[in-house]
Amino acid sequence: MQRRTFLGGMAVAGLAGPWLQAWSAEAMASPSLPLGLPLLASELLPAGGTLRELTKLANTSNQPGTFQGKLTAAPVTLPFIPGHASTEFWAYNGSLPGPLIELFEGDTVEITFVNQLKQPSTIHWHGLPVPPEQDGNPLDPVPPGGSRIYRFNLPEGSAGTYWYHPHPHQHTAEQAFRGLAGPLVVRSRKDPLTALPERLLVISDLKLDRYAAIAPNDENDWMNGREGQFALVNAQRQPVLPFDFGGRERWRIWNACSARYLKLTLPGSTLTLVGTDGGLLEAAQAGLTEYLLAPAQRVELIVDAGSRRDKVELTANVYPRGKMGNVAPDQIMPLLTVDFTAVTTKVQAALPAHLGSVDDLGQTSTHKQVVFSESMSMVNGRHSMLFLINDQEYDMQRIDLVSRLNEVELWEIVNRTDMDHPLHVHGTQFQVVEREFEGVVTPAPFRAWQDTVNLRANEIVRIKTVQRWPGLRMFHCHILEHEAMGMMGQLKVV
């Protein structure tokens, strides 16, 4: 806690190393905006519209089992705040969020990416099992004005809830917070829940300055991760979701925020967990009063109206994640209003007893340790915060870990900081085995496919993980500002 006292007094003004680089890229993008100016009042963005369906990316192939599409990343200017100047976003195909890519297991996928930004970019297929050279990692940038085709096949068993976003060196955080991120769903032809109406809810963060322009990151954003005054659902502020008259819905929810933790609650209703990042659980977990969705995670929930016929807000409740410095206290964030008034039925039917398969990845022969730490450094007489993995900042030239192809490994992830960090590993879906906190080990209550796992301050999480392609993979904190500041490593699969 010494750290917090120390930071509290000085609000960390120093900049150094990757922080400085990320910061200056940022500053150049919005030269007219000094830091620390008041933000736009959130009420100025109209709320209460009916929830929009997501725009879909068109499949231009007429071959069965093939998806071909095109994503162009470019600035787009939208009249976003009534009575204010238009807001420049950076978007895929002009769409906020990026268009929904809907695929099936077994599909051959070919997506042409056109970069019309003034920075290098990539498309990273977050969570999808794709070869390293197709995964849009920082080593394969597409230059401004350039293009490339990403090609991959989706294996059986890959049905799940994924997303895509840029991953260029040093520009990921900015490109994401300016609007570049979109949902992707892989469907199974044997999905046991297809009879249910499905909602796709992409939650993203937005921070607008008082002129309705996207605000640059300030010191607190770089340190704690960026949180704006808005948590939008499908790019709308607090929309209304007219609940299906049949009384039961399947919700897929994406946390596409840079750093905001979503402790989801629907007061008066419980939630039933049926799926995580990489697809369905084996059995539904009913009766949850809340669900914590860390940055980059996705979840599938079944929501039952039961006998309620009212309107209620889905909220993100306060989740203390150990923010540093002089930050405003967190508040409950209403996300959307669920309108149950048109429901006519009370669903009695139980969910199918068996949902998906999450076979134990099996015996582990190799152990690895990944340690999150932070340190304060003095550069040019100023203090700077560093976020490290295994005591080092990200270096594109360095291999941090080496794994053997198809060998199941036990990774022990240790959070030696006073803040939560969500770890994401590229190219695979792993299984959490257990958590350890203050000496108490708690086995995972059930198996689930995940590509992102949250670690509380001083928590240890053990996972089973395996890589199916040779090549280079990233692993990093998915608070995008922490990733930008060095909390990322490279795994070489041989």
Site string for ligand C2O, 465-494 (x = CB under 6 A): ---------x-x-x----------------
Closest CB to Cu ion among residues 173, 305: 173
Task: Please identify which residue in 321, 426, 435, 464 interacts with ligand C2O, judged by CB under 6 A.
Answer: 426
Q: Which does 424 bind (CB under 5 to 8 A by kind): ligand C2O, Cu ion, none?
A: ligand C2O
Beta carbon of residue 417, minimum distance to Cu ion (angstroms, whole number): 8
- Closer to ligand C2O at the Cβ: 260 or 424? 424
Partner whose binding site includes residue 421, from ligand C2O, Cu ion, none (CB under 5 to 8 Å by kind): Cu ion
281 binds, among ligand C2O, Cu ion, none (CB under 5 to 8 A by kind): none
Q: Could you tell me the two tokens for 338?
A: 């669920």
> Between 108 and 147, how does the x/- string for binding to ligand C2O read (CB under 6 A)?
----------------x-x---------------------
The residues of the shown chain that bind Cu ion, judged by CB under 5 A, are 421, 477, 479, 482
> Quick one: which of 296, 333, 338, 432 contacts ligand C2O (CB under 6 A)?
296
Binders of ligand C2O: how many residues, by CB under 6 A? 10
> Minimal distance in Å, beta carbon 130 to ligand C2O?
13
- Closer residue to Cu ion, CB minimum distance, 39 or 327: 327
From the list ligand C2O, Cu ion, none, pick the one residue 199 interacts with, judged by a Cβ distance below 5 to 8 Å according to partner type. Answer: none
Could you say which of 71, 99, 160, 165 contacts ligand C2O (CB under 6 A)? 165
Closer by beta carbon to Cu ion, 126 or else 482: 482
| Chain position whose Cβ is nearest to ligand C2O | 126
The entry of ligand C2O, Cu ion, none that residue 324 binds, CB within 5 to 8 Å by partner kind: none
Q: How far is the CB of 463 from Cu ion (least distance, A)?
A: 17
Q: How far is the CB of 297 from ligand C2O (least distance, A)?
A: 10
Give min distance, CB of 405 to ligand C2O, in A: 20
Q: Which does 482 bind (CB under 5 to 8 A by kind): ligand C2O, Cu ion, none?
A: Cu ion
* Contact status: 321 vs ligand C2O (CB under 6 A): no
**Nearer of residues 247 and 427 to ligand C2O, judged by Cβ:** 427
| Partner interacting with residue 464 (select from Cu ion, ligand C2O, none; CB below 5-8 Å by kind) | none
Distance CA 164, CA 161 (A): 11
3-state helix/strand/coil string of the chain: CHHHHHHHHHCCCCCCHHHHHHHHHHHHHCCCCCCCCCECCHHHCCECCECCCCCECCCCCCCCCEEEEEEEEEEEEECCCCCCCCEEEEEECCECCCCEEEEECCCEEEEEEEECCCCCECCEEECCCCCHHHCCCCCCCECCCCEEEEEEECCCCCCEEEEEECCCCCCHHHHHHCCCCEEEEEECCCCCCCCCCEEEEEEEEECEECCCCECCCCHHHHHHCCCCCEEEECCEECCEEECCCCCEEEEEEEECCCCCCEEEECCCCCEEEEEECCEEEEEEEEEECCEEECCCCEEEEEEECCCCCCEEEEEEECCCCCCCCCCCCCCCEEEEEEECCCCCCCCCCCCCCCCCCCCCCCCCCEEEEEEEEEEEEEECCEEEEEEEECCECCCCCCCCEEECCCCCEEEEEEECCCCCEEEEECCCCEEEEEEEECCEEEECCCCCCECEEEECCCEEEEEEECCCCCEEEEEEECCHHHHHCCCEEEEEEC
Q: Can you give the binding site for ligand C2O, defined by CB under 6 A?
A: 124, 126, 165, 167, 296, 424, 426, 474, 476, 478
